[in-house]
Amino acid sequence: MNNITIIGGGLAGCEAAFQIAIKGLSVRLYEMRPHIMTGAHRSGNLGELVCSSSLKSNSPSTAHGLLKEEMRTMGSIILDCAAKASVPGGDALCVDREKFGKLVTQVIESNPNIEVIRQEITDIPLDRPCVIATGPLTSPALADSIKQLTGANHLHFFDAIAPSVDSESIDYGKCFRQSRYDKGEAAYINCPMTHEEYEAFIDALVGARIANLHLEEEKNARYFEGCLPVEVIAKRGRDTLTFGTMKPVGLTDPHTGRRPHAVVQLRQENADGTVYGLVGFQTQLRQSEQDRVFRMIPGLEHAEFVQYGAVHRNTYIDSPNVLTSALHTKLDKGLFFAGQMVGVEGYMESAASGIVAGINASRIATGQSVVVPPKETIIGALLDYIANCPIDDFQPMNSNFGILPPILEKHPKKMRKELKVERARKAMREFSELSWGSAPNPARDSVS
Ligand SMILES: Cc1cc2nc3c(=O)[nH]c(=O)nc-3n(C[C@H](O)[C@H](O)[C@H](O)COP(=O)(O)OP(=O)(O)OC[C@H]3O[C@@H](n4cnc5c(N)ncnc54)[C@H](O)[C@@H]3O)c2cc1C
């Protein structure tokens, strides 16, 4: 029987193991807990949720709900356990964390095709296929080994995420396209500020509340010069931002014919141009404060944030340079990565990538070609983003409607999300039928 190695028994590793096991292949799943713990896990349970007990919205009219629908179609064991451990959460799928972790542990450990080995792996094994799913808190020894594989520039230890907005929510009447000194294409959208607007913005920024941080390293992360949050720079001096992130040099506002006092630059973040990031605006502000403060930026008054800014500990690969959208490395078809470390952000996004890595590892083990859901689906769009994101400073992404390709026909804005949902459902149905002849849910009856 083919043996597939998985390292990491978190959300992604368990999904991958289950997908392989239900195809009749055998899995060796290495998990270092409880012998060696991370800074956030509290138990030896597989699939432990390290923080919130909410798996976010279950409603298919939201991107998170659509992601779950797609995961169920692909046979998610994590969502099967979540359903059995759910507690009232309104629109959100919330779970009893303890019960959830125990259920995941039970269903994985009792599967006859899965051998769970409680051991830290310190080097990337030579066995193939192999799936590495050791998460944002990968142990330092294994992180070193991954760094040797990817090169030091292609493994990151901190997220310093700047917020991104849906391009349709930008007020283009107030902004203008131009690169500083007109160098290259007019790649940036500039949100110009007058002196008064800048002063009011700085007051709001330095007075805004910071998010609750999880780990000691996160609290100290602000002292890493390379990923200084914008509010920390602002606190160094009222005008400091006008000499760096918000400097207006080489720019002329066509509305006034003059150089603005300051600008916020937005840069395209995906190939379709549906998502724009606020350049240099990595932040530790609470999400509600980001809504309040960043909507003071001219042109962003009605911005829909597809991703909020954050700074936290996170080991992740520079996927566009290292991985394909099938989740194996560009140089080795037998070596897969999955979970948060591929640059997806969130419990469900991590689990979803585990499903795809598991399916593809088992296909490689049985001599078949790999499959990737189309990019009209949320899962496919996430995988497309991590493998093909065009920007240099690759940052993790969660599921949102902004990463789906635009609806090209003219429709009222409020209908476009519905159309994206319908298109995603159709694409997932066709993908399932093409890939394995039906839309299976093999997880459905697997937990007693
Ligand atoms: C502090 C913190 C809080 C977070 N809170 C949330 C939240 O509230 N909501 C949300 O959606 N997302 C949150 N995330 C982000 C992310 O969704 C979770 O980290 C998620 O668990 C990632 O899933 P994963 O499978 O990639 O990694 P994990 O679930 O962390 O699984 C990785 C597993 O690999 C094991 N491991 C690590 N190194 C080795 C090794 N060398 N050998 C063997 N085993 C190893 C670990 O013990 C762990 O069990 C948080 C992340 C962090 C760091």
Q: Which atom of ligand 1 is nearest to the CA of 135?
A: 27
Residues 193 and 118 in one domain: no
Q: Whose CA is nearest to atom 5 of ligand 1?
A: 51
Does ligand 1 lie within 6 Å of residue 229's CB atom? no
Q: Work out the end-to-end distance of the chain between its first and last CA atoms, rounded to an integer number of angstroms.
A: 26
Are 284 and 326 found together in one domain? no
39 shares a domain with 23 = yes
Whole-prediction pTM value? 0.82
Q: Which of 188-197, 258-267, 406-415 has the lowest mean pLDDT?
A: 406-415
Instruction: Assess whether pLDDT exceeds 50 at residue 107.
Output: yes
Tell me: pLDDT of 190 over 80: yes
**Cβ 358 under 6 angstroms from ligand 1:** no
Single residue among 265, 280, 308 that ends a domain in this structure: 308
Q: What is the C-alpha to C-alpha distance for residues 61 and 187, in angstroms, rounded to an integer?
A: 32
The pLDDT of residue 184 is 65
- Classify strands 54-57 and 262-268 as parallel, antiparallel or unpaired: unpaired
272 within domain boundaries: yes
* Integer angstrom CA distances of residue 238 from 61, 162, 194: 42, 20, 14
| Domain stop point among 308, 334, 364 | 308
pLDDT tens-digit map of 380-412: 999 999 999 877 778 889 999 999 999 888 878
Residues 280 and 380 in one domain: no
Average pLDDT of every residue of the chain: 90
**Digit-coded pLDDT (tens) for 143-169:** 999 999 998 777 887 777 789 999 999
Tell me if 441 is assigned to some domain: no
pLDDT score, position 187: 76
**Would you place residue 222 in the very low, low, confident or very high pLDDT band (cuts 50, 70, 90)?**
very low
Probe target for ligand 1 pocket from 19, 30, 32, 212, with the most ligand atoms within 8 Å of CB: 32
Centre of ligand 1 from the C-alpha of residue 136, in Å? 5
Whether the Cβ atoms of residue 6 and residue 353 lie closer than 8 Å to each other: no
51 inside domain: yes
Q: Do residues 232 and 132 both lie within one domain?
A: no
Task: Look up residue 360 and give its two tokens.
Answer: 């593809």
Same structural domain for residues 119 and 152?
Answer: yes
Tell how far the Cα of 30 is from the centroid of ligand 1, in angstroms: 14
Query: 213 CB under 6 A from ligand 1?
Result: no
Provide the percentage of residues in the chain whose pLDDT is more than 90.
Answer: 72
Q: Whose CA is nearest to atom 11 of ligand 1?
A: 346
- Tens digit of each residue's pLDDT (9 = 90 or more) over 421-445: 999 999 999 999 888 765 444 444 4
- Residue 239: partners with Cβ closer than 8 Å, 6 or more residues away: none
Distance 10 CA to ligand 1 centre (A): 6
Range of the domain at 106: 3-157+315-436
Task: List the structure tokens of 448.
Answer: 């007693």
Does 177 lie in the same domain as 87?
A: no
CB 371 less than 6 A from any atom of ligand 1: no
Q: How many domains does the chain have?
A: 2
| 101: its two tokens | 């972790």
Give me the pLDDT at residue 421, please: 96
Look at residue 44 and tell me if it is in a domain: yes
Tell me the HSE value of 17 on the side-chain side, using a 13 A CA sphere: 33
Q: Is 139 in the pocket of ligand 1 (CB under 6 A)?
A: yes
> 52-61, 180-189, 240-249: lowest mean pLDDT where?
180-189
Task: Tell whether 211 is covered by a domain.
Answer: yes
Report the distance separating Cα 363 and Cα 371, nearest Å. 9
Which of the listed residues 347, 356, 382, 400 should we mutate to test ligand 1's pocket, taking the one with most ligand atoms within 8 A of CB?
347
d(CA 79, CA 62): 17
Whether 80 is covered by a domain: the verdict is yes
Kind plus residue range of the DSSP H or E element containing 407:
none
Task: Please check whether residues 255 and 379 belong to one and the same domain.
Answer: no
pLDDT on residue 445? 40
pLDDT digits (tens, 9 = 90+) for 333-372: 999 999 999 999 999 999 999 999 999 999 999 999 999 9
Closest residue by Cα to atom 53, ligand 1, is 136
- pLDDT higher for 309 or 26? 26
Residue 293 carries which side chain, given as an amino acid letter?
V
Distance 354 CA to ligand 1 centre (A): 12
Residue 446 maps to a domain: no
Residue 209, domain CATH: 2.40.30.260
- Identify whether residues 275 and 296 lie together within a single domain: yes
Residue 447 has pLDDT above 60, yes or no: no
- The two most distant CA atoms of the chain are separated, in Å, by 72
Provide the CATH number for the domain around residue 136: 3.50.50.60
Query: Does residue 219 have a pLDDT over 70?
Result: no
For residue 389, what are the contacts with CB-CB under 8 A and spacing of at least 6? 269, 270, 319, 320, 397
